[in-house]
Structure 1
Amino acid sequence: MKPASHHVTRCRRCTAPIVWCLTSANGRRQPVNAAPDEEGNVAVSSGADGVLYVRTVTAARPDIRPGEWRAMPHHATCTSPPPRRSSAPTPRAVRGVRPVPWQR
């Protein structure tokens, strides 16, 4: 099964066709490749409200239900991913020197 054409958009960085889905675990948005992929680790389904939902295919639930298709998260295949953020804190800029010491 493939997504409806009105769900398909393009990635801003690599221009690959993607669909935006809501995760079934916490309702956050996740980009998924629009083309079905047998090697993918997520299952995408269309809800009754017309929104696409995605869930992770795990060892506990490896089967694909009727109405779902297997796909790959776009973050795993994007050819131009965003730059990684460093977890190290940035040094604080010194703006000036206090001319006199603190007084009590």
Structure 2
Amino acid sequence: MKPARHHITTCRRCHAPICWALTTANGKRQPLDAEPTAEGNVAAMQGPDGLLYVRSVTVARPEIRPGEWQAMPHHATCSSPPPRRSSGTGQRQRSGVRPVPWQGRQP
């Protein structure tokens, strides 16, 4: 099965055909490659409300149910991915108490 034509759009970066789906785990949007593939690690389906939903294919639920198709997240195949965010391994700004010179008691 394939996504309906009205769900397919293009990636802003690489201009490949993609479709947007909501994750069943937390309801966030995830781009998928529009072409189904056997190497995909997610299962997509059109819900009764007309929206696309996607779930992970896991060891616990490896089967593709009727009405679903296997797809690949577009982040894994995009030829022009967005720049990576900093992992925070560099020096970071210190927070907390500002160091001040010690002012001991004077008799």
Output the TM-score relative to the length of structure 1. 0.84
Deviations 1:69-94 (A, max 9, x none): 000000000000000011327877xx
Aligned pairs for 1:41-60 (under 5 A) are 41-60=41-60
Which residue of the partner structure matches residue 98 of structure 2? none
Pairing of 1:68-79 with structure 2 (within 5 A): 68-79=68-79
Q: Which runs of no fewer than 5 residues in structure 1 stay unpaired?
A: 93-104
- Which 5+ residue runs of structure 2 have no aligned equivalent? 94-107
- Give me the whole-angstrom Cα distance separating, in 2, the residues matched to 1:65 and 1:43: 9
In the alignment of these two chains, the number of paired residues is: 92
1:53-82 C-alpha deviation (Å, 9 max, x unpaired): 000000000000000000000000000000
Moved over 6 A (4+): 89-92
Instruction: Report % sequence identity.
Output: 70
The aligned counterpart of 1:101 is none
2:4 equivalent in structure 1: 4
Quick one: distance in 2 between partners of 1:69 and 1:86? Answer: 34
Matches within 5 A, 1:1-104: 1-88=1-88
Letter in 2 for 1:24: T
Q: In 1, distance between residues paired with 2:28 and 2:45?
A: 15
Q: What amino acid does structure 1 have at the position aligned with 2:39?
A: E
- Cα RMSD of the aligned pairs, angstroms, is 1.4
Amino acid at match of 1:34: A
Residues 82-91 or 61-70, more deviating: 82-91
| TM value normalised by structure 2 | 0.82
Give, as a single letter, the amino acid of the residue that structure 1 aligns with 2:40. Answer: G
CA distance in 2, matches of 1:4, 1:37: 16
